[in-house]
């Protein structure tokens, strides 16, 4: 119970700090701007991830994917989403996400990282013969 309160307090503090730092009341901004909704969602999810609040990060990364489907950040967000699942021991979900990155984003800078992490997932799932990215 105490752990849940600490996580909730951390999220509230993070939201307040983002609000104070960026003054997000009703500002309008161009895409790519520090104040854009896309950038704020991205930063919020990454903040949760960096604090090892993986369950909460998963929710926020999924929100990012749902709201900003055409973002250039999608490969990275999908990779961080997979890393979050991996960190929670949900290797099959992580493996599916990583496979989608490998198949759909071959030119992404996250392609090589996804291959490596896919191998880690398959190792954890004892799928030793399939750690080649073609599963």
What is the average pLDDT across 13-23? 55
Cβ(117)–Cβ(98) under 8 Å? yes
pLDDT at position 35: 75
Tokens of 105: 């984003």
CATH number at residue 106: 1.25.40.10
Q: Is 58 exposed, middle or buried (0-12, 13-18, 19+ CB in 10 A)?
A: buried
Residues 90 and 38 in one domain: no
Residues 6 and 23 in one domain: yes
Say how many domains are in the chain.
Answer: 2
Phi-psi group of 32: left, alpha or beta (phi > 0 → left; psi -120 to 50 → alpha; rest → beta): left
Residues 97 and 60 in one domain: no
Residues 5 and 52 in one domain: yes
Q: Cα 114 from chain centroid? A: 13
List the domain range (segments joined by +) for residue 84.
74-135
**Which pLDDT band holds residue 6 (cuts at 50, 70, 90)?**
low
Q: What is the model's pTM? A: 0.71
pLDDT per position as a tens digit, 20-57? 444 444 344 444 456 799 999 999 999 999 999 999 99
Tokens 């309008």: give the residue.
28
Residues 10 and 59 in one domain: yes
Residues 61 and 81 in one domain: no
63: CB partners within 8 A, 6+ apart = 41, 45
Residues 108 and 43 in one domain: no
Domain boundary among 15, 43, 71: 71
CA gyration radius for the chain?
16
Residues 43 and 78 in one domain: no
Residues 85 and 57 in one domain: no
């Amino acid at each position: 119970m105490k752990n849940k309160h600490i996580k909730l307090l951390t999220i509230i503090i993070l939201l307040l700090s983002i609000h104070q730092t960026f003054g997000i009341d009703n500002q309008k901004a161009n895409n790519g701007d520090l104040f854009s909704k896309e950038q704020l969602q991205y930063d919020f999810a990454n903040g949760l991830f960096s604090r090892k609040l993986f369950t909460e990060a998963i929710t926020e990364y999924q929100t990012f994917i749902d709201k900003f489907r055409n973002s250039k950040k999608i490969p990275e967000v999908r990779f961080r989403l997979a890393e979050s699942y991996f960190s929670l021991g949900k290797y099959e979900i992580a493996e599916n996400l990583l496979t989608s990155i490998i198949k759909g984003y071959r030119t992404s800078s996250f392609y090589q990282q996804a291959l490596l992490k896919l191998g880690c997932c398959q190792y954890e799932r004892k799928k030793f013969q399939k750690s080649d990215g073609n599963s």
